[in-house]
Amino acid sequence: MNKTRGALHLTQQVDYGILLLATLANTGKDSLKAKKEPTNTSIKQIAEENNLSFLFLQKIAQKLLKAKLIKSERGKFGGYKLTKKPEKITLKEIIEALEGKISVVPCLMANASCCKKNKKCAIKNQLSIINKEMENFFLSKTLATFTK
């Protein structure tokens, strides 16, 4: 039995992804307070400041880029920044960008044929309701929850 985590948990990838996005949101806020343009932040800088693996954080950034939650700019002042305000980025978007569709059990995912009882499952309907409630919960929380 693994005592370091519960049955339902956010992965380390989601944890670091939220940290990355919150850092970008806070960096943008700080520069706007100083009446400057939002600044770009490097993944290397975020990794070093938080004692995280640069390569792992870079892979996370690539997934967030693909999901269009962040954008990158090259050059001397290049780096990453959010594509939307933190209030407009839902936790559901972040999780699904990094881990795929939210599903409390694999058989609720599209095209899943993992369970032999799939067509006659006594609990699938209730699990489906719970899954929808979780999706709605993650839709109701935004990145702004994690910013200063």
Q: Kindly report the CATH number assigned to the domain that includes residue 26.
A: 1.10.10.10
Q: Is the pLDDT of residue 62 over 60?
A: yes
Decide if 43 contacts 57 (C-beta within 8 A). Answer: yes
Model confidence pLDDT, tens digit, residues 40-58? 788 999 999 999 999 999 9
Q: Is residue 84 part of a domain?
A: yes
Question: Which of helix, strand or coil describes residue 62?
Answer: helix
CB atoms within 10 A of CB 71: 13
Q: Is the pLDDT of residue 15 over 90?
A: yes
Smallest CA-to-CA distance from 136 within 144, 128, 126, 124 is with 128
Instruction: Taking residues 92-98, report their average pLDDT.
Output: 97
Q: Is residue 80 part of a domain?
A: yes
Antiparallel, parallel or unpaired: β 79-82 and 70-73: antiparallel
Q: Is residue 138 part of a domain?
A: yes
Structural domain for 95, as ranges: 12-146
Count H helices and E strands in the chain, helices first.
5, 2
**Angle 49-55-58 from CA coordinates, rounded to 5°:** 80
Residue 121 confidence (pLDDT): 79
Q: Is residue 7 part of a domain?
A: no
Q: Give the pLDDT band of residue 61 (cuts 50, 70, 90).
A: very high
Decide if 143 contacts 25 (C-beta within 8 A). Answer: yes
Q: Is residue 16 part of a domain?
A: yes
Q: Is residue 32 part of a domain?
A: yes
| pTM for this model (two decimals) | 0.83
Instruction: Taking residues 30-37, report their average pLDDT.
Output: 50
Residues 6+ apart with CB under 8 A from 99: 11, 13, 14
Q: Is residue 33 part of a domain?
A: yes
Please give the tally of structural domains in the chain: 1
Q: Is the pLDDT of residue 2 over 60?
A: no
Q: Is residue 2 part of a domain?
A: no
Output 78 or 99, whichever has higher pLDDT. Answer: 99
